[in-house]
Structure 1
Amino acid sequence: MRMHRTPWWQYVIALLLGLLAGAGLAKISESSGVSLIGAPWFVSLLLLALGIMVLVMALQVHQYATTDPAKRARLKPLNPDMAVTTLMLAKALGLAGAALAGWYGGQILMILEHLEADYFAQTAIQCGIAAVICLIDMAIGIVGEWLCQLPPMEGPENPKMKEAQRRRAMASATAKTRH
């Protein structure tokens, strides 16, 4: 199975969709009189803990994947399912972090004109902290995805093998021109 890195534009789309959804929710909340905006503190703490957990797991995968096979025997064996799960969590964390950063940012944009009211000022602070944590989670997701990359195998895609093949081709071309 071959995994590809998440393209940058998917993060931008997730951020923009979250921004539109958050702004829409704030507008609906304003017009209906029902408070749907804000971010409870425990949600921000939970998102931060989730980001740290994914980063620690990705660092473990990276350490195992980049360790010399001779030294790898001293490390605890890495479960391949855990490595794939870590990669998927990193991908999901990056996209969810982008969408949620947009969500909380959209709410902030819609309540900026009401900041003189204590409730809206408090909500803007909550959403601002949550948005920053979500941006951190997005960055952790992107870095975690990179950390879960495996080095190329000793096959045709390995840079060493490509260089050796290029040298052989040059040597044979040189040998042909001499004869």
Structure 2
Amino acid sequence: MNARRTPWWHPLIALLLGALAGIGIAVLGEHYSVTLIGAPWFVAALLIIVGIVVLVLALNVHKYANTDPKKRPNTFVNPTLAFNTLVLCKALILAGAALAGWYGGQIIPSISHFEASFYEHAVVECAVTAVVCLIDMVIGLVGEHLCQLPPTEGPENPKLEAAARKRDVAPAATKNM
């Protein structure tokens, strides 16, 4: 199975859709006098914990994949866990982008009411949570890169490429002498 990297435009679209939804919910909340904006502080804390767990899993997969098979320690990394870690990284990219847009979008219509105590707290909560979501998105991108397997003993292996170049260059160098 060959997993592909997440294209750059997927998080961008998720960010824009999240921003549109956040703006829409903030405008509807103002229009109907309902408090729909803001984020409890435990949401930001929970998102930080999720990001740290995914990063630790990705670092374990990277360490396991880049260690010589004869020298690998007995760890809990197996192909299923490695695949699930990659899926978590991809999900964290898209969820982080969409939630950053959601919370950032709520800030846009609410910033004009910043002098009110409720809106001040809501804007600060949304700003902190949006930054945490962007950090999670970056952790997902880094984790996706860390879960990439090194080339196998195929034509893309750097050791085999160097040997092929050496083999091709050596006869040509002796003919010129």
Check whether TM > 0.5. yes
User: Which AA in structure 1 matches 2:52?
Assistant: I
Alignment-derived partner of residue 101 in structure 1: 100
Q: Deviations over 1:93-126 (max 9, x none)?
A: 0111011111101101110100011000000011
Alignment-derived partner of residue 48 in structure 1: 48
Hey, what's the Cα distance between the residues in 2 that align with 1:77 and 1:12?
Answer: 34
Q: Does the 8 A contact of 1:100 with 1:131 survive in 2?
A: yes
* 1:33 CA displacement: 1.2
* 1:68 CA displacement: 1.9
* 1:19 CA displacement: 1.0
User: Which AA in structure 1 matches 2:145?
Assistant: W
Q: Which moved more, 1:81-90 or 1:24-33?
A: 24-33
Alignment-derived partner of residue 126 in structure 2: 127
* 1:70 CA displacement: 2.4
Hey, what's the Cα distance between the residues in 2 that align with 1:147 and 1:62?
Answer: 5
Percent identity of paired positions between Structure 1 and Structure 2: 58
* 1:34 CA displacement: 1.4
Matched, 1:152 2:151: yes
Matched, 1:60 2:57: no
The runs of at least 4 aligned residues of structure 1 exceeding 6 Å deviation read: none
Give the root-mean-square deviation of aligned CA atoms: 1.8
Alignment-derived partner of residue 24 in structure 1: 24
* 1:169 CA displacement: 4.1
Alignment-derived partner of residue 114 in structure 1: 113
Q: Does the 8 A contact of 1:64 with 1:75 survive in 2?
A: no
Hey, what's the Cα distance between the residues in 2 that align with 1:77 and 1:25?
Answer: 43
Alignment-derived partner of residue 84 in structure 2: 85
Alignment-derived partner of residue 138 in structure 1: 137
Q: Secondary structure at the match of 2:30?
A: helix
Q: Secondary structure at the match of 1:33?
A: coil
Q: TM-score, normalised by structure 2?
A: 0.91
Hey, what's the Cα distance between the residues in 1 that align with 2:17 and 2:163?
Answer: 47
Hey, what's the Cα distance between the residues in 1 that align with 2:34 and 2:16?
Answer: 25
Tell me: CA distance 1:115–1:77, structure 2 relative to 1, closer, same or farther (3 Å).
closer
Count of aligned positions: 176
Q: Deviations over 1:41-95 (max 9, x none)?
A: 12111111111110111111111111122211x3325211000000000110011
More helix by share: 1
Hey, what's the Cα distance between the residues in 2 that align with 1:170 and 1:19?
Answer: 56
Hey, what's the Cα distance between the residues in 1 that align with 2:149 and 2:138?
Answer: 20
Q: TM-score, normalised by structure 1?
A: 0.91
* 1:162 CA displacement: 2.7
Q: Which moved more, 1:75-84 or 1:50-59?
A: 75-84
Hey, what's the Cα distance between the residues in 2 that align with 1:97 and 1:77?
Answer: 27
- 5+ residue gaps, structure 2, are none
User: Which AA in structure 2 matches 1:32?
Assistant: Y
Tell me: CA distance 1:84–1:30, structure 2 relative to 1, closer, same or farther (3 Å).
same
